[in-house]
Structure 1
């Protein structure tokens, strides 16, 4: 026969009733700490800059967008 595990909490575990509303907001101190940690993780990536190939692709897309705007103006739209 299999032993059943109890679904009841043990020790100092607190169980909220289903009617209890959880507040999803974070206080300012926690937001600041998360921001600092994210900056620490991503600073190296930001400092690497954009690879030359990506910069070239972005320039080409920008030129195409500028060209499309000029064509639209010429057509009166």
Structure 2
């Protein structure tokens, strides 16, 4: 009988979710603490807003998308 070689690098274990284990793996207290810490880290970034050059780029893309949609509608009629 031939021995099957795993395609995974040695030492890595594949973890599959278990449908038999109900509920979250972390209790509510731990989930709350993780959420608070993530908010503390990212609140400052969110408050910075979008740089003007990105806002301009998004406006330009929106304008081009509207023009393209208008062309597509005209061609299909």
TM-score by length of 2: 0.62
TM-score by length of 1: 0.62
Of the two, which has the highest radius of gyration? 1
Q: CA RMSD in A?
A: 2.0
Moved over 3 A (4+): none
- Unaligned runs of 5+ residues in structure 1 are 1-20
- Unaligned runs of 5+ residues in structure 2 are 1-17
Aligned residues: 56
Q: Using CA pairs under 8 Å that are at least 6 residues apart, name the structure with larger relative contact order, 1 or 2.
A: 1
